[in-house]
Amino acid sequence: MLVSLTVGKLDAGVAVLLTEDNRLIEFPSVLLPKNISSGSIVDITVSRNQAAEATSVSAFQSLQKRILHTYGVHTPSAPVLRLRNATQTSLVLEWDPINLATASLKSLSLYRNDSKAGSIPRPLEMLSTKISGLAIDTEYTFHLVLRTSAGTFSSEKLVCRTHKMTDLSGITITPGILPPALRTNLEEVVDRIGAKLIDAVRIDTTHFVCTEGRGPAWEKAVEMNIPVVRPEWVEGCEREGTIVGVRGYYLNADPKSRQLGPGIGAHQNRQHAPQNNSTGPLSPGRADRRNSTPRSPEQPTQKELPTTPQPGSESRPSHSAKSDQEDEKEEDRAPPPPPEKDEKENPKPTEDSSKPADDEDSTTETGDENDTEAPSNKELGNKTNSQSLQKQKSPSPQPKSPSPSGQKANGTAGEGELSEVPL
């Protein structure tokens, strides 16, 4: 298609072209002829390049497919955590190489009992780690968390348990410089106790056994802080049936410092302990207790000692002695008022101090006769005899001046409290 345009304004970079219907079109000045100026008319031919368009579409589709197969098919894999070795106080964990696919690594963290234990340094190079300082015969849970640019991926939880002191299967020994006879004996003992023997010093090596401290293997063990002991240490573990301390089995240690561990030897000592205690000499404390004279059954105890009667403790008549008298009087008289608290606490006064109470009792009986029928002389005589017998049986209390409240209480307590009744 041919289009005629008029040059309206011409600048160094852009030219303004006018159409026949006076529309403005900005056009690059570089594409116009060199001798063009304002007012010039130029013809521009416009056509579609289909071949170039098809090539561009094909290149774009190829790029999309390459991006899809590179970044959209493969994704990072979750780490796989395993237990390599377990001892009484440590665990050695290992995992497969990290598969990041096309993503970039951010971090790799280890979690213990759902709490972050730390980050793994150089996760693309390190494939194992050792956790020390654990409790004996205790269960732990571990898992790895991988963070990448494509997302976060967690491993399955691994449940591990540290060994008991009598479980020697976690011992991993690397032998050093040893005589042939000791090397053969060491292999036999290791096989009997169920331990492992490896040739190289690794992260799961628990002890380095040798008789001479030299060589590259010994230097690596010292660098990794692995205990370097003599072959007698393995024999001591077999003899005791448990892990024994390594302090007495170092290369430069004194053999006299080797002690029995808490294994079979200690168990045998505990079995002989009761026999020794039964036949051995007694301690001063036990000798005093055995020599002390046992108390004879004839000696009275504290409960068997006779007690001195206290004032007012037995002066009150018993319930059985008063029951017959009260039953006879309940038929003729109204029930007496309840006794006051002072009657139980204050002792009963003697005959001299009870005279005012007798006068009050006689006055009270006189008032009662006005309302109810007076008791007969026979009943009064029986009552007087029973009260005198009770006084003879009860021990005489020490004389004590009664308080005014006590006199009033004794005077109005009831008929069973009267000492003399006027006939």
Q: How far apart are CA 239 and CA 155, in angstroms?
A: 42
CB 111 within 8 Å of CB 145? yes
Three-class DSSP labels, 261-326: CCCHHHHHHHHHHHHHHHHCCCCHHHHHHHHCCCCCCCCCCCCCCCCCCCCCCCCCCCHHHHHHHH
SS3 at position 350: coil
Nearest residue to 243 (alpha-carbon basis) of 175, 195, 178, 182? 195
Residue 372 CB neighbours (<10 A):
10
Helix, strand and coil percent figures for the chain, each rounded to 5: 35, 20, 45
pLDDT for 265: 42
pLDDT for 93: 96
SS3 at position 420: coil
Instruction: Please state the φ and ψ torsions of residue 327, each to the nearest 5 degrees.
Output: -65, -35
Q: How far apart are CA 189 and CA 183, in angstroms?
A: 10
Going from the C-alpha of 247 to that of each of 46, 229, 253, 263, the distances in angstroms are 96, 9, 7, 17
Per-residue tokens: 94: 């290992």
Q: How far apart are CA 417 and CA 358, in angstroms?
A: 10
Q: How many residues does the chain have?
A: 423
Nearest residue to 147 (alpha-carbon basis) of 112, 106, 103? 106
Q: How far apart are CA 267 and CA 273, in angstroms?
A: 10
pLDDT in tens, the chain (423 residues): 788 889 888 888 889 999 888 889 898 888 888 888 888 988 888 888 999 999 999 999 999 999 888 887 888 999 999 999 999 999 999 999 999 988 999 999 999 999 999 999 999 999 999 999 999 999 999 999 999 998 999 999 999 999 999 999 999 999 999 999 999 999 999 999 999 999 999 999 999 999 999 999 999 999 999 999 999 999 999 999 999 999 999 998 888 877 654 444 444 444 444 444 444 444 444 444 444 444 444 444 444 444 444 444 444 444 444 445 555 555 555 555 555 544 444 444 444 444 444 444 444 343 444 444 444 444 555 555 555 555 554 554 444 444 444 444 344 444 444 444 444
pLDDT for 239: 92
Per-residue tokens: 368: 């009662």
Nearest residue to 255 (alpha-carbon basis) of 278, 235, 282? 235
Rg of the chain, C-alpha, whole Å: 57
Beta partners for 85? 92
